[in-house]
């Protein structure tokens, strides 16, 4: 279900262990990297015979990869110029070795001296081998000038090696500018920063090239971040011939308040579309007909009397919780005292695996002591605004470090966190982070979050672990958004259409 997303430090450790403990020489890894980068360039650009190729080689291993590429591309008939940013005598280790090999073979090289204004020679292809994975902090003036000059070369095909120079491989943010590549080849696995949506404008087409890091090294030194892979839906249990509605999960959805009945209805439809056998929606009795919305497939449990949550409704609900396979609480719940009391009572009473969404998250912000006692089999699904409210922060602060916010919260609350947004982040209590590879504008519709909550509740009700339920739900939800983009390229789809797309997406992906 997952593909590793190492941090730059974790990738460096994989290199170190491979070289020092396994015994695979660094020159071999660098040769592999350069060769794979050339293959990627040929696939992305085409024939390079007679083309002018400018390679900007930094002083580290990224520059060494550039020397390997220069040698190979020259052999293919390209007119190669390598501009190296350090004197030849300053290169060390594997990069120095590859520089000497390229020089012995007569590859054209020139020392790129630091200047106030950087001017690059014209080229059909510019290969950015300046900084790479190890870059952190902010670009120095000379490197800043090189990056801006590369970006100004609008007639050139820009190819970045490992990480576009100036891009932080951990956060995916430019520092403060970064090369805007048409294609980036990254080695062994994509660094976490490259998988985040904000990096898309800089990486262009992202290619992952394996260079020989043994699987055992990755297994013994696992990455703390993972990308949800395209086989995620295969973890949804296949229907069995003996399946019946009682064996495929009964979801209880709790929510709704005056004027906010549609959210619970949408979550209910979604839970059914995601495969739950039975769905019951618990709400104030005065709202039950409105919540049902004429859908005979959805069952309602009207509580108490009236249309506002109160102690009588809570007392009727709590003994019923254990009858269900999963709980979703919060859609349309409201924010008055009765709603807050309900969330507190449910948390303290205990429940089956649960999804806390929408106004239930507001209750946590208002009564943060509940986060210390919430059950570990819970999934919280905030958008950035709800997340900021729960942690006493601001939306810009959350967005600036979504991964950090998710990890800190999930570890401290011992719950699974689904931080919604482009490139949704899933944080688990053990510190692991999963990232969705999908950003789908068609999901930016009212009620879309209610659809996701119902999906996750349906998956939980079928006995799927919270981490897998959260990741499958997010990935499936994203695919539904992409599916709708074909029908509504300028958006305009509504939330029920997201839910209705779910079975079709499964058919197309798994059949």
Same domain membership, residue 123 and residue 252: no
CB 362 within 8 Å of CB 334: no
In terms of domains, do 9 and 139 share one? yes
> If you write DSSP's letter for every residue of 274-338 in order, what string do you get?
TT-SEEEEEEEGGGHHHHHTT-TTSEEEEESSSSS--HHHHHHHGGGGGGSSEEEE-TT--SSHH
Cβ(166)–Cβ(178) below 8 Å: yes
**Looking at 348-415, which runs of residues are DSSP E strands?**
354-356, 378-380
Pick from 443, 366, 435, 356: nearest CA to 402 = 435
Q: Which of 190, 224, 258 is the last residue of a domain?
A: 224
Question: Does residue 24 sit within a domain?
Answer: yes
Q: Which of 259, 251, 323 is nearest to 286 (CA)?
A: 259
Residue 233 lies in a domain: no
Beta-carbon contacts of 201 under 8 Å, excluding residues fewer than 6 positions away, are 180
pLDDT tens digits, 77-104 = 999 999 999 999 999 999 999 999 999 9
Cα 48 to its chain centre, rounded Å, is 35
Both 336 and 278 in a single domain?
A: yes
In the chain, pLDDT over 70 holds for what percent of residues? 100
Is the domain of 255 the same as that of 215? Answer: no
**pLDDT confidence bin for 107, thresholds 50/70/90:** very high
- Per the structure block, which two tokens stand in for 173? 């943010």
Residue 238 belongs to some domain of the structure: no
Residues 179 and 248 in one domain: no
CATH number of the domain encompassing residue 101: 3.40.50.10260
Domain assignment present for 235: no
What is the domain count for the chain? 2
Beta-strand runs (E) in 29-151: 52-57, 79-84, 108-111, 125-129
If asked whether residues 346 and 449 sit together in one domain, one would say yes
Residue 448 lies in a domain: yes
User: Could you tell me if residue 231 is inside a domain?
Assistant: no
CB of 169 closer than 8 Å to CB of 194: yes
Question: What's the rounded Cα separation, in Å, for the pair 451 and 273?
Answer: 10
Same domain? 176 vs 140: yes
Measured distance CA(465)–CA(463) in Å, rounded: 6
Same domain, 17 and 149: yes
Residue 236 lies in a domain: no
Question: In the predicted model, is pLDDT for residue 314 greater than 90?
Answer: yes
Other CB atoms within 10 A of residue 469 CB: 28
H or E element, residue 417? strand 416-419
Least confident of 53-67, 107-121, 189-203, 289-303: 107-121
The CATH number that applies at residue 442 is: 3.40.1190.20
Return the residue matching tokens 């695996």: 353
Output helix, strand, coil percentages for the chain, rounded to the nearest 5. 45, 15, 35
Long-range contacts formed by 19-26: CB under 8 A, 24+ apart: 22/214, 22/217, 24/212, 24/214, 26/93, 26/94
Q: Which residue from 135, 189, 132 is spatially nearest to 163, judged by alpha carbons?
A: 132
Residue 333, domain member (yes or no): yes
Q: What is the pLDDT of residues 396-421, one digit of tens each?
A: 999 989 999 999 999 999 999 999 99
- Same domain, yes or no, for 263 and 359? yes
**The pair of three-digit structure tokens given for residue 443, joined into one six-digit string:** 């999901």
- Are 459 and 469 a contacting pair, CB within 8 Å? yes
Q: Residue 344 pLDDT > 80, yes or no? A: yes
Choose the final residue of a domain: 196, 224, 252: 224
Q: Are residues 303 and 174 in the same domain?
A: no
pLDDT, position 63: 97
- What does the pLDDT read at residue 137? 86
Q: Compute the CA torsion angle 101, 103, 107, 111 (nearest 10 deg).
A: 130
pLDDT tens column, 142-182: 999 999 999 999 999 999 999 999 999 999 999 999 999 99
What is d(CA 167, CA 164) in angstroms, rounded to the nearest whole number?
A: 6
Peptide bond into 98 cis (omega under 30): no
Examine the pLDDT at 116 and tell me if it is beyond 80. no
Q: Are residues 321 and 392 in the same domain?
A: yes
Boundary (domain end) residue, out of 174, 196, 224 = 224
Backbone angles phi, psi at 445, to 5 degrees: -140, 150
Q: What phi, psi does 141 have (nearest 5°)?
A: -55, -40
What pTM was estimated for this model as a whole?
Answer: 0.93
pLDDT of res. 240: 84
**Among 285, 277, 255, residue whose Cα is nearest residue 267:** 255
Domain that holds residue 17: 2-224
Percentage, residues of the chain above pLDDT 90: 95
- Are residues 340 and 366 in contact, defined by beta-carbon separation less than 8 angstroms? yes
Give the pLDDT band (50/70/90) at residue 244. Answer: confident
One domain, residues 317 and 446: yes
């Amino acid at each position: 279900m997952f593909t590793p997303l190492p941090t730059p430090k974790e990738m460096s450790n994989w290199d170190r262990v491979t070289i020092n403990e396994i015994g695979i020489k660094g020159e071999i890894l660098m040769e592999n990297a350069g060769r794979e980068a050339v293959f990627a360039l040929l696939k992305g650009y085409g024939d390079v015979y007679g083309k002018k190729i400018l390679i900007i080689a930094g002083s580290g291993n990224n520059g060494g990869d550039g020397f390997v590429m220069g040698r190979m591309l020259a052999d293919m008939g390209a007119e190669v110029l390598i501009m190296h940013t350090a004197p030849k005598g300053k290169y060390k280790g594997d990069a120095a070795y590859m520089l000497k090999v390229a020089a012995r073979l007569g590859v054209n090289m020139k020392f790129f001296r630091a200047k106030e204004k950087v001017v690059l020679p014209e080229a059909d292809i510019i290969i950015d081998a300046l900084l790479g994975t190890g870059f952190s902090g902010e670009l120095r003036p000379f490197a800043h000038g090189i990056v801006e000059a590369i970006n100004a070369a609008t007639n050139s095909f820009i190819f970045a090696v490992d990480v576009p120079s100036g891009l932080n491989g951990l956060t995916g943010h430019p520092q403060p500018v970064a090369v805007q590549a048409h294609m980036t080849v990254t080695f062994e696995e994509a660094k976490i920063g490259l998988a985040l949506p904000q990096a898309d404008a800089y990486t262009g087409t992202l290619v992952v090239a394996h260079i020989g890091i043994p699987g055992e090294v990755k297994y013994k030194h696992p990455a703390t971040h993972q990308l949800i892979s395209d086989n995620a839906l295969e973890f949804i249990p296949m229907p069995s011939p003996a399946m019946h509605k009682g064996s495929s999960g009964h979801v209880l959805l709790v929510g709704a308040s005056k004027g906010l009945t549609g959210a619970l209805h949408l979550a209910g439809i979604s839970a059914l579309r995601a495969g739950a056998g039975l769905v019951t929606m618990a709400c104030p009795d005065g709202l039950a007909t409105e919540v049902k919305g004429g859908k005979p497939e959805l069952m309602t449990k009207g509580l108490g009397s009236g249309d506002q949550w109160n102690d009588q409704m809570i007392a009727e609900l709590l003994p019923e919780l254990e009858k269900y396979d999963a709980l979703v609480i919060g859609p349309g719940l409201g924010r008055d005292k009765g709603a807050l009391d309900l969330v507190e009572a449910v948390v303290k009473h205990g429940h089956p695996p649960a999804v806390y969404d929408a106004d239930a998250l507001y209750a946590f912000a208002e009564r943060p002591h509940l986060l210390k006692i919430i059950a570990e089999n819970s999934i919280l699904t905030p958008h950035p605004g709800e997340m900021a409210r729960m942690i006493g922060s601001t939306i810009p602060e959350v967005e600036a470090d979504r991964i950090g916010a998710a990890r800190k919260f999930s570890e401290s609350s011992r719950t699974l966190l689904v931080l919604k947004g482009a490139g949704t982040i899933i944080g688990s209590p053990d510190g692991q982070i999963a990232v969705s590879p999908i950003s789908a504008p068609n999901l930016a519709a009212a009620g879309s979050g209610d659809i996701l909550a119902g999906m996750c509740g349906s998956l939980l009700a079928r006995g799927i672990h919270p981490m897998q339920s959260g990741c499958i739900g997010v990935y499936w939800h994203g695919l539904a958004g992409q599916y709708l983009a074909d029908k509504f390229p300028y958006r305009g789809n509504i939330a029920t259409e997201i839910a209705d797309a779910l079975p079709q997406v499964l058919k197309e992906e798994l059949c």
